[in-house]
Structure 1
Amino acid sequence: MAAQVLFDGQVNVHYRFINVHGVEDEPGSESDDHRRGQRNGLCGAAVPGMLHLVTGLHTGDVGFRIELHSTEPPLSDTWEEAVEVSFHASTDEMGLHAFDDLYEFTLPPGDYRVRYCARGMQQGHDEDTLAGDEPIDFYLLQFWPGSPAPDRILRQTSDAAAYWHREGRDVELPPGERDAEERHLAAKQEEYDRARFGDRIPNDRLRNVKFHAPSFRALDENLMWALAAADDELHRAVARWAALRALSIAELTDNPIVAPAVAALQRGEHPPFPFDEEAVPDFGAIGDQVPDGVLVPRLPWFRDEPGGDRPQKRAVAALYAVTATNNSDSLGAALHTVETTATAYGGDEYGQFLADLWDAFPQLRAGNQSRG
């Protein structure tokens, strides 16, 4: 019998979760309660009548499909993560509850075995917030009649999934299974590190900071390693210096809206409103008081991406560099501000900015050489 498709579309997630329960049911307990007594951390089924699903993406649309089968379906090789749980449906009016959004589907009441599969979960986790229109992580929820049984981890390939399997686990694994899991996770961590950082081993500080390592390596790999080895004070100094250079190249240093931020950065302080947020400037507060300025070519390694052949506004990149200095992690502040300032210079001029940075902070070169 072919699968009956109960839902197939996009679901808008917030905070990396989707709940499955009756349309009229209350949301229920905290997420840890949903996983109590389980081995897997992707599909919590400990609260009767409810499934708590974890996604890689924090905010945005994910692809989602729900199927009903008469018997256990085969597990396709296209899915990178897969777990199984048991579930009892007491009503046929079911819903995917994703924060404030509801996506309804019909499921006959009864006892089910449920398989939750994921593809692109690590990419969704790394992206955090969806920037484009098309989903980058996809999920499949399959139901078939079955008696209650313990949950199982069928397939795990990503660090994002491994994190959730470890998070909140309150069952002790047998020694052999625990050792095998640790070896598997260590091998996946090494594979992931090599994809991001190449052959050199990152320290925990660099490994844990949120940034796109391959693009920064294309910008200046030696600078990445030098910043990773530097202290917080040097990180902040580099970030402030880079942001001031971005404003200078964009000819915004004397702009009345921007001038207070320039003064704060020169004093070694965080910029004031409207540049005091970590993520993006409050362009609503800026209005039309900051001119767009010139358009500059994108950095070379972004030109093959969709829209990468279009130039971008130098002023906008410069303002993003200012807000990047607010990053609560000093290494993250340095990495993001340097890369955004290079973007403000543009693909034809960023090399001079990097040369000037190395000259302005000779301790970076000395620290990088001392670590090989």
Structure 2
Amino acid sequence: MPGLLFLTTGLHTGNVGLTVEVLDGPAPVGEDWEEVVEVSFRPQTAAVRLVQWAGEASWPLDLEPVDYRVRYCASGMDRARAKDTRLSGEPPLDRYLLQLWPAPPAADEVVRETSATAAYWHEHARTLPPPPTPEQRAEARRELLERERAHREAARAAEARRWGGRPPGERLKRMNGGLVLTRLDRDLTDAIEQLDEATQRAVAVWLARRACDEAGLSGLDWVAPALAALGDGVAAPPFDDHAAVFERLHRDARVVFTTVPSFDGRHDRISQQHAALPAVRSAAAGDPLAAALETLFHATVAFGRGFPRLHAEVRRAFPALRG
């Protein structure tokens, strides 16, 4: 692989001695080295590191982005291979030297081979396919980019289908109920997204009131003040606490609980009161678009199968939503 050197040792498990030298030119090969090989190498990244086999540790190498000749020397490979594992505190079994100096590319060369371990790895290396040519690498890169492009196109198409044929903006993706709303009434959802913030806030307040009207909650003495406070963008108590809202609902003996079939037909009985109350809290959201769309979602749930009536009413109340 271009830009990568894999250094083989005789020892399987444990630490070995390795020295790295960056030279100006080739040095004489020491007679004490039993195995010597040379290859060409060119860094492919600005940062080059010597990395342990499993990545436990690494050390930076100060190399320029030029062609190098690399010499890898070893001694004691058979002895280390026979021992297999060196424990901490045991004497060294094999040692290694890595030398690099600037040089034009040249063929790989086995300079010296004396051990069975080195012979085994050299024979294995000869069975490997040759490295790809620059043309082959360029073609592989082109094919990879094409696959990535096709994958992105397929993902965009799938996303568009998921959202009813038109991919949404990033803000709409993050909205609670955004996917449901676009499938039910994409034109209304898009129209709300195009409103100015003041009108989005007004839509949110209108929808919260309409949901509570439909659920028979607007006249309650703990709901009416909260609806009035929405004009100031405030979630008044108990709507500033999600759990407290439903505790209050369950304690209020005046509430008449009613159910409707769900808007998608999957459920026969949805509590309108439990669906409507979250609309009051969402209408006070800090983001006017989130307030409008999330409140539309809660109100839609409260209306159940009658949601087209709600959507028609909000369009009449806000002419900018008529398209």
Instruction: Tell me the TM-score normalised to structure 1 length.
Output: 0.44
Task: Report which of the two has the higher share of strand.
Answer: 1
Task: Report which of the two has the higher share of helix.
Answer: 2
Highest CA radius of gyration, 1 or 2?
A: 2
Instruction: Tell me the TM-score normalised to structure 2 length.
Output: 0.49
